[in-house]
Amino acid sequence: MSKFNQFTVSAAKRMPVIILADISGSMSVDGKIETINRAIAEMIACFAEEVDVRADIHVSVITFGKGGAKIHIPLQEAAKIQWIDMEAAGSTPMDKALELVAEIVEDKNQIASRDYHPNIILVSDGQPTDEKGHPTEKWKPALEELLNSPRASKTLRLAMGIGADADHEVLNEFVQHQQQNVPVFRADETNQIRLFFRWLTMSVTNRSRSANPGNISTIDFSNAFGNVDDIMF
């Protein structure tokens, strides 16, 4: 046994992946919520099967819809997650989800300073609203607080807008002020939702296997999706 055993932590560093999923009523149309459920479940299953990783991948899913923002899956090791499908209903209280994710990221008990930076992925098909479904600007101070907080500002933020009604102003703001330019991914068809999550799965697993899991290569969805298509066929 190592002489240093008694002075060191026994857990590997973690790579957190936090999904902010819009589950408002509009997500029930055109099979969107079903596709997202399937895509996230596949992603978690892929993470769980990864053995040659140098960082343990931990996943959390925060939903925002009927009843506000909720922790659908608490942050935990992918292999331990029992996926439960999300159901779409209600309005789009995105501000509550932004507040909730800021709380989680700032909590050093949930994500330690020794862990790799969290990946936060915002997925939405519409405009932020209040609980009654009225358009609101409440997301602005919530996002500002997230971007200005000491730790959340150091995360990698990605966004996917689903369909023509997605509010790209909000999503673009969400991915601003990062080390590199990160485009918002537009999913006009449900198949593209699946492709986005496959790209995300590959991106996270490739980093978790790499010599420097904290390093982010250039994010270029067009190239990434080319690779995904190759795998699919």
Question: Applying CB under 8 A, which of residues 82, 180, 215, 218 lies at the interface with other proteins?
Answer: 215
Question: Applying CB under 8 A, which of residues 64, 116, 185, 197 lies at the interface with other proteins?
Answer: 116
Question: Applying CB under 8 A, which of residues 7, 82, 218, 222 lies at the interface with other proteins?
Answer: 7
Residue nearer to other proteins on the CB measure, 109 or 215: 215
Residue nearer to other proteins on the CB measure, 182 or 195: 182
Please, what is the minimum distance in Å from the beta carbon of residue 116 to other proteins? Answer: 6
Binding mask 73-112 toward other proteins (x if CB under 8 A, else -) reads --------------------------------------x-
Binding mask 37-76 toward other proteins (x if CB under 8 A, else -) reads ----------------xxxx--------------------
Q: Determine the 3-state secondary structure of 21 from DSSP.
A: strand
Question: Applying CB under 8 A, which of residues 22, 99, 115, 167 lies at the interface with other proteins?
Answer: 115
Nearest to 152 by CA among 91, 100, 225: 100
Report residue 72 CA to chain centroid gap.
13
Judged by CB under 8 A, which stretch of 3-11, 19-27, 137-145, 223-231 contacts other proteins?
3-11
Residue 141, CA atoms < 13 Å, CB-side half-sphere: 3
User: How far apart (Å, rounded) are the C-alpha atoms in residues 46 and 34?
Assistant: 18
Nearest to 72 by CA among 30, 20, 149: 20
Length reported for the chain:
233
Q: Containing H/E element for 161?
A: strand 156-162
Q: Determine the 3-state secondary structure of 209 from DSSP.
A: helix
Question: What pairing do the DSSP bridges indicate for beta strands 68-77 and 119-124?
Answer: unpaired
Residue nearer to other proteins on the CB measure, 6 or 222: 6
User: How far apart (Å, rounded) are the C-alpha atoms in residues 81 and 110?
Assistant: 16
Please, what is the minimum distance in Å from the beta carbon of residue 13 to other proteins? Answer: 6
Question: DSSP class of residue 135?
Answer: B
Number of residues engaging other proteins in binding (CB under 8 A): 32
Specify whether the backbone of 130 is left (phi greater than 0), alpha (psi in -120 to 50) or beta.
beta
Question: Applying CB under 8 A, which of residues 38, 70, 138, 151 lies at the interface with other proteins?
Answer: 151
Contact residues: other proteins, CB under 8 A: 1-13, 53-56, 111, 113-118, 150-151, 154, 211-215
